[in-house]
Chains A and B, each alone.
Chain A
Amino acid sequence: MTLNTDLKAQLIAEFQATEDRLNGASRTPFFQRKKEALLTFEKLGFPTIRHEEWKYSNVKGLINQGFDFHAPGQVTAADVDALQIPNLEGNVLYFVNGVFQPELSVVISPENQLLILNFAQAAKQFPELIEQHFAKYADYSDNAFTALNTAFAQHGVFIHVPDGAMVEMPVILRFISDARVQNVASQPRNLIVLGHRADVKVAESFRTLGNNAAFTNIVTEVILGEEAHFEYYKVQDESDKAYHIGTTHIQHGRASQSYSVTVSINGGFIRNNLNLVLDGERCDAHMYGLYLPNERQHVDNHTLVVHAQPNCESSELYKGILYDKSTGVFNGKIFVKQDAQKTNAYQSCRNVLASPDASMNTKPQLEIYADDVKCSHGTTTGQLNEEAMFYLQSRGIPKDKARALLMQAFAQDVIEKMRIPAMKQYLEGLIVEKIGEI
């Protein structure tokens, strides 16, 4: 099969074909919402570096490659064994090239606490919830990738935690791109709805098999009911030929809490958008991030916190170590609306350039329209502390080990935030592998 290298035209044609096939069924509100998104995508086109939000992240290399969006992948039980996270207890769901694999997945939490459905099933079984929430929060008016994902929303997962339910076991979504045969692409779409005082931990983990290019364009929308508690972990350990563009949107209800940790261990090109809207009083949101690009990898974290109501607190700590010729971007926007008095918002981004050829672009953006707020931000980018290196070496620790020890200590701040113990161990292992054995 020859792959179309005009990605935009290819996708528009695919959408058209689906619409034709659906015939009368295309008039459902669900489909109409997708169609609107497609029209927006058509209008926007893929962003260039002239777009302010994409200034340092050039997607040209991505859109000039051909991708098969429908390659099924051939992930066997043996492959899954090799991908396993040791000692992980929880609800583990596998997706191959974006498509849910029930036979590889295990759900252990009781259904009255945790309802997990395939996205298309949910559209049939819970049309009112889908109608109420789907594509209502992840804004695509100026984001071509979110528009595209919305237009093609079909695979992915719908998670519902009802009022008062405390889900003990975490939900781990494992997205495997099987690029062993050809260039593959997937567009998972997740919708997570937490009721009043509901509580759940959700992790998204991304892996690639094979050496062809793999493109993931994922959107996860999370809606938190009043006083809900949500923990969100995103772990990226993909190949150097993997492109990842992801948006996670968390919509906070009154007095709800979110806690997010984004760890980018490996991947060719990564763009993570994490958007939080604190749309109720006394919300609490904490965000942590760690990225360790090497070679020519690129990691871009864009965070947005909208303080829409009074008495909320948000804090943010992102840390990066950049090796070789890698590049990094951190763009942290805090938007405090006029009504959001007594806002506390903190942001910090710290980077170590482990090579003279690595580079990091940081941009804190504060827009404050209320007058009684506390906001602070700080970014640092520097080299490894030479004094600390000498101290360790003078005690007999060889240079390479001393460097690895300091890098791991630097990363540890964020790794500590991972509250799923088996995943924390898994991350520590990946980090040792990437930045050197102590």
Chain B
Amino acid sequence: MLKIENLQAAIGEKQILKGINLEVKAGEVHAIMGPNGSGKSTLASVLAGRQDYEILSGSVEFLGQDLLELAPEERAAQGIFLAFQYPIEIPGVSTVNFLKTAINEIRKYRGQEPLDAVQFLKRMKEKMAFVNMDQSLLSRALNEGFSGGEKKRNEIFQMAMLEPKLAILDETDSGLDIDALRIVAEGVNKLRRPDNATIVVTHYQRLLDYIVPDYVHVLYNGRIVKSGTKELALELEEKGYDWIKAEVDAVA
């Protein structure tokens, strides 16, 4: 589904990604872990199409297409979804209106008829239940005055509404208490299907207790320096990142 080869990216003068290689197949969950500043969020942002980064080299293929050629909205229409680490508050734009616009724009891109009000409401009711989303939040402006947990829940709700093929969760666990974490993780699990995939970007192992990954990769200094199965995450939880840093720095 997704094939990243030797991806290098910079922001301004500073190179952040120094050659990422990663392949994600349909049905898989990949966790990307790593210490602060290792490039995890940069990778998530580059995949979603944030303009601030300059691609220096490498390629990203998504469902047989060159992803780097596409605008962010085209990537969304192709099935990429980024759950933001810090969801933006947008006063004056209601969540419902925003989602209806997003869904119907994606449908238009795919040559499908727009959802009518009844179909849209039906889908919304169904997905709200996924993440225990309160109706009153939806009538408010997008994320405005939402608590940290409500914002993250809203991200997963949007993900449920848009039904992406590849979901990238960027530090979705940060700022969540254990109950909110469980609700968010359950939502993500319910959305798992054999034909979609998930990349979970996280600093801590605890989210992975709930969203169990098939593969765990450690990102350090702009490269994936270690890959393994879910046991690797447990090892990191126990020993921290220093031993990996030491290993990598010794080789260099």
Give the residue name and chain of the A residue nearest to B90 (CB): A388
Is the CB–CB distance between A413 and B92 below 8 Å? yes
- Chain A neighbourhood of B91, CB < 8 A: 409, 413
Is the CB–CB distance between B98 and A392 below 8 Å? yes
- The verdict on A394 contacting B162 (CB below 8 Å), with A399-B73, A409-B90 known, is no
Of B48, B88, B102, B103, the residue contacting A388 (CB under 8 A) is B88
A125 to chain B, nearest CB (A): 48
Give the residue name and chain of the A residue nearest to B84 (CB): A391
Q: Is the C-beta of B222 less than 8 angstroms from some C-beta in chain A? A: no
Chain B 71-88 interface residues, beta-carbon cutoff 8 Å to A: 71-73, 75-77, 81-82, 84, 87-88
Is the CB–CB distance between A396 and B93 below 8 Å? no
Is the CB–CB distance between B84 and A409 below 8 Å? no
- Chain B neighbourhood of A386, CB < 8 A: 51
Give the residue name and chain of the B residue nearest to A408 (CB): B92
Cα–Cα distance between A388 and B98 once the two chains are bound (Å): 12
* Contacts from B to A (Cβ < 8 Å): 48-51, 71-73, 75-77, 81-82, 84, 87-88, 90-93, 98-99, 101-103, 105-106, 109, 141, 158, 162
A140 to chain B, nearest CB (A): 40
A263 to chain B, nearest CB (A): 16
Is the CB–CB distance between B90 and A410 below 8 Å? no
Of B73, B90, B93, B99, the residue contacting A393 (CB under 8 A) is B73
Chain A 393-433 interface residues, beta-carbon cutoff 8 Å to B: 393-399, 401-402, 405-406, 408-410, 412-413
Residue of A390, A394, A409 with most chain B CB atoms under a 10 A cut-off: A394
Is the CB–CB distance between A394 and B49 below 8 Å? yes
A388 to chain B, nearest CB (A): 5
Which range holds the interface residue count of chain A? Answer: 20 to 34
Is the CB–CB distance between A393 and B101 below 8 Å? no
Give the residue name and chain of the B residue nearest to A407 (CB): B92
- Chain B neighbourhood of A405, CB < 8 A: 93, 98, 101
A415 to chain B, nearest CB (A): 10
Q: Is the C-beta of A79 less than 8 angstroms from some C-beta in chain B? A: no
A321 to chain B, nearest CB (A): 13
| 18 A–B contacts, CB within 8 A, in A order | A385-B88, A390-B51, A393-B72, A393-B76, A394-B48, A394-B76, A395-B99, A395-B102, A395-B162, A396-B76, A396-B105, A397-B98, A397-B105, A399-B71, A406-B93, A409-B90, A409-B91, A413-B91
Is the CB–CB distance between A393 and B158 below 8 Å? no
- The verdict on A390 contacting B98 (CB below 8 Å), with A396-B162, A398-B105, A409-B90 known, is no
Of B71, B76, B109, the residue contacting A395 (CB under 8 A) is B76
| Mask of A348-368 contacts with B, CB within 8 angstroms, 1/0 | 000000000000000000000
- The verdict on A396 contacting B109 (CB below 8 Å), with A405-B98, A405-B101, A406-B93 known, is yes
Is the CB–CB distance between B101 and A391 below 8 Å? no
Is the CB–CB distance between A397 and B51 below 8 Å? no
Of A390, A406, A408, A438, the residue contacting B72 (CB under 8 A) is A390
Shortest 9 CB-CB contacts between residues of A and residues of B = A409-B92, A396-B76, A393-B72, A396-B106, A395-B102, A391-B88, A412-B92, A409-B93, A393-B73
Cα–Cα distance between A409 and B94 once the two chains are bound (Å): 9
Q: Is the C-beta of A387 less than 8 angstroms from some C-beta in chain B? A: yes
- Chain B neighbourhood of A396, CB < 8 A: 73, 76-77, 102-103, 105-106, 109, 162
- Chain B neighbourhood of A406, CB < 8 A: 90, 93
Is the CB–CB distance between B93 and A397 below 8 Å? no
Give the residue name and chain of the B residue nearest to A393 (CB): B72
Cα–Cα distance between A413 and B71 once the two chains are bound (Å): 30
Is the CB–CB distance between B90 and A397 below 8 Å? no
- Chain A neighbourhood of B50, CB < 8 A: 390
Is the CB–CB distance between B71 and A393 below 8 Å? yes
Is the CB–CB distance between A395 and B87 below 8 Å? no
Cα–Cα distance between A402 and B98 once the two chains are bound (Å): 10
- Chain A neighbourhood of B48, CB < 8 A: 394
Cα–Cα distance between A386 and B50 once the two chains are bound (Å): 10
- Chain A neighbourhood of B90, CB < 8 A: 388, 391-392, 406, 409
- Chain A neighbourhood of B73, CB < 8 A: 393-399, 402
Cα–Cα distance between A405 and B102 once the two chains are bound (Å): 11
| Mask of A296-340 contacts with B, CB within 8 angstroms, 1/0 | 000000000000000000000000000000000000000000000
- Chain B neighbourhood of A385, CB < 8 A: 88
A231 to chain B, nearest CB (A): 23
Residue of A386, A394, A396, A399 with most chain B CB atoms under a 10 A cut-off: A396
- Chain B neighbourhood of A392, CB < 8 A: 90, 98, 102
- Chain A neighbourhood of B76, CB < 8 A: 393-396
B199 to chain A, nearest CB (A): 15
Cα–Cα distance between A398 and B107 once the two chains are bound (Å): 12
| Mask of A28-57 contacts with B, CB within 8 angstroms, 1/0 | 000000000000000000000000000000
- Chain B neighbourhood of A413, CB < 8 A: 91-92
* A388-B90, A398-B73, A406-B93 known, 8 other contacts, Cβ within 8 Å: A386-B51, A390-B50, A395-B102, A396-B162, A397-B105, A398-B71, A409-B141, A412-B92
- Chain A neighbourhood of B141, CB < 8 A: 409
B240 to chain A, nearest CB (A): 32
B41 to chain A, nearest CB (A): 13
B101 to chain A, nearest CB (A): 6
Give the residue name and chain of the A residue nearest to B75 (CB): A394
- Chain A neighbourhood of B84, CB < 8 A: 391, 394
- Chain A neighbourhood of B93, CB < 8 A: 405-406, 409
Give the residue name and chain of the A residue nearest to B103 (CB): A396
- Chain A neighbourhood of B101, CB < 8 A: 397, 401, 405, 438
- Chain B neighbourhood of A388, CB < 8 A: 88, 90
- Chain B neighbourhood of A397, CB < 8 A: 73, 98, 101-102, 105
A288 to chain B, nearest CB (A): 15
Cα–Cα distance between A306 and B48 once the two chains are bound (Å): 53
